[in-house]
Amino acid sequence: MASRGSFHVFALVALLAAACSSGDDDASGGDGSGDGAGSADATPLEGACASGAAIPDTGMRTLSFGGRERSYLLHIPSGYDRAPTALVLNFHGFTSNPTQQEYFSVMSDAADREGFAVAYPQGIGNSFNAGACCGTAAQDSLDDVGFTGAIIDAVAAEMCLDPARVYSTGFSNGGFLSHRLACELSDRIAAIAPVAGVMGIDECAPSRPVPVLHFHGTSDPLVLFNGGGVSGFPSVEDTISGWAERDGCTGERQVSFEQGDARCERWDSCDQGSAVELCVIDGGGHTWPGGLVPLAAGKTSHDIVATDRMWQFFAEHPMPGQ
């Protein structure tokens, strides 16, 4: 796996944020708090689902994890009524922040339409420890998998969370982290849908087949579609084939979507009802398909909306057995 010596190429991602508000490293707010390290003491799920439970507001949250104060932006869907609600974890790219990720992905709008909550975590140094990507050597010791678990616990303490419908997506560095979460937190993450981020760890042994939907542009200048380059990241095909093997998928991929520059192919014959799907943007750059990108690193497709398609995929794949 590639070292971090070439991670500086991801500084281009900062251009994507030029038209959005910027965020400080591990920025925090004051709307609520939780302590993932002490989840046993958190308000039980039944309490948050009770008819008299408080309706939380959208806003920044802070929690204590790993000896640090960490933060995330929590979007509560309009119309939330204490019914069991799905949660999508949406991780920003290297140098970005939750506010920018919310803007680029337009996911809060989809959440209001479809009735799911979204947590936009803040990385330390505007980066997550996803393995090969991205950040500095000092960040290699950060436990962002554990931080993710702490966020799930904290959200469950204040709203009626459906534990069978917790999903992960993310852009670039956040996409890399989503792959890692599927490997190391498969008992809590039902399915993933990374955008422009491949597998960044050498060993992946999920406890169950994890449904995966991956979006990538063929002309991505930062996370190359065919792998290699100065970063040395794996190819998209190696990443997707690896998931097909782990999930026990058989047969050939079938075209599941095709419009303009966007084409998706999918394995449906996979163990325990899982699926592996790859959506390729012909000539697409390092962008969020269908999203808002004022200064893009390459072409942004408008023939597919990644946020809408991934929610459809997530809705089809709750955690089995729950």
Q: Is residue 70 part of a domain?
A: yes
**CATH number of the CATH domain containing 68:** 3.40.50.1820
CA 29 – CA 166 distance, rounded (Å): 23
Q: Which domain holds residue 238?
A: 4-316
Within a domain: residue 62?
yes
* Per-residue pLDDT tens over the stretch 130-183: 998 887 655 667 999 999 999 999 999 999 999 999 999 999 999 999 999 999
Q: Tokens for 35?
A: 């302590």
With contact defined as beta carbons under 8 Å apart, do 12 and 297 qualify? yes
Prediction pTM value: 0.86
User: Distance of CA 239 to CAs 15, 42, 129, 196, 259, Å?
Assistant: 27, 37, 18, 12, 24
Each residue's pLDDT tens digit, 97-130: 999 999 999 999 999 999 999 999 999 999 999 9
**Are the beta carbons of 238 and 219 closer than 8 angstroms?**
no
- Residue 193's nearest CA partner among 213, 166, 172 is 213
Q: Is residue 321 part of a domain?
A: no
How many angstroms separate the most distant Cα atoms in the chain?
56
How do the pLDDT tens digits run along the chain, 322 residues long? 444 433 333 333 333 333 333 333 443 333 333 333 333 344 444 689 999 999 999 999 999 999 999 999 999 999 999 999 999 999 999 999 999 999 999 999 999 999 999 999 999 999 999 998 887 655 667 999 999 999 999 999 999 999 999 999 999 999 999 999 999 999 999 999 999 999 999 999 999 999 999 999 999 999 999 998 777 899 999 999 999 999 999 999 999 999 999 999 999 999 999 999 999 999 999 999 999 976 568 999 999 999 999 999 999 999 998 7
72 contact partners, CB below 8 Å, separation of at least 6: 60, 61, 63, 98, 119, 120, 121, 122, 151
**In total, how many domains does the chain have?**
1
**CA dihedral sign of residues 168, 169, 170, 174:** positive
Residue 34 domain-assigned (yes or no): yes
First to last CA, the chain: 36
Instruction: Determine, yes or no, domain membership for 271.
Output: yes
Q: Is residue 322 one of the residues assigned to a domain?
A: no
